[in-house]
Amino acid sequence: MKIVGVGCGPGMMTGEAIRAIGEAAEVHGSARAIELASEAIRPGCPVHEITDYRALRTLDDGAVVLSTGDPMLSGLGYLPGEIVPGISSLQVALARLHLPWTRVVVVSAHGRDHAAACAEAGAEVARGRIVFLLADPTFAVDRLAGVLGADSPGARIAVCESLGYPDERIRVGTVGDPPIPSSPLFVVVAGIF
């Protein structure tokens, strides 16, 4: 089985990803991943929207599992099989903001305890790091701003929504006046930058 990153938005598949998907005996993915990969799926190839993530471990050799963005960034890269990298929300957000990776640390709040993720982000920003935070639709940016404000009052907060999609939006604010996302698909970048 191959786990193939399809990019975090339309038009972001690599040549390697396009080839792997085109040669697949069957394709499995979330609705968003299937939509992103649709042009590369050969006509007649069986396509399955994933309902049971545990069942993915037992797929045949020729199967391709699609993972949005890059499989190794909180994606399906934990599955056994070859990983084909993809363009992640991390890559696109840092490119849009013109920020180098060397000062960045990744924090995930996706499906996790948001208070713990905010505390982790606050500690990293206080150490001089730029935090790239994977959010989920219920993540409250103003709560993160409150935590950052305690130790890093000069920090800036960027909210990057729908990266790569036609409605992409990047806004940068302060801990006192953070941007509030209006779409469920967003990441946050915070720090002194």
Ligand X SMILES: C[S@@+](CC[C@H](N)C(=O)[O-])C[C@H]1O[C@@H](n2cnc3c(N)ncnc32)[C@H](O)[C@@H]1O
- Using alpha carbons, list the distances in angstroms from residue 37 to 17, 87, 101, 190: 9, 13, 27, 31
The footprint of ligand X on residues 48-67 (CB under 6 A) is none
Q: Which is nearer to ligand X, 63 or 73 (CB)?
A: 73
- Give the nearest residue (CB) to ligand X: 69
Q: Which is nearer to ligand X, 175 or 187 (CB)?
A: 187
Among residues 27, 104, 141, 185, the one that binds ligand X under rule CB under 6 A = 185
* 157 binds ligand X, rule: CB under 6 A: no
Which position has the token pair 């069957």?
26
Q: Could you tell me the smallest distance in angstroms from the CB atom of residue 163 to ligand X?
A: 3
Nearer to ligand X, 70 or 124 (CB): 70
Q: Is 134 in the site for ligand X (CB under 6 A)?
A: yes
- In the block, residue with structure tokens 């089985």: 1
Is 81 near ligand X (CB under 6 A)? no
The length of the chain is: 193
Closest CA to 145 of 162, 116, 122: 122
Where would I find the H helices in 58-140?
89-97, 114-126
135, 148, 189, 190: residue in contact with ligand X (rule CB under 6 A) = 135
Told to check if 132 binds ligand X by CB under 6 A, we report no
Considering only CA atoms, give the Rg of the chain.
Answer: 18
Q: 171 by DSSP, 3-state: which? A: strand
All residues at 6 or more sequence positions from 15 whose CB lies less than 8 Å from its CB, including other chains: none
Q: Which residues pair with 172 in a beta bridge?
A: 158
Q: Number of residues in contact with ligand X, rule: CB under 6 A?
A: 21
Shortest distance (Å) from residue 112 CB to ligand X: 10
Binding site for ligand X (CB under 6 A): 8-9, 68-70, 73-75, 88-89, 110, 134-136, 160, 162-164, 185-187
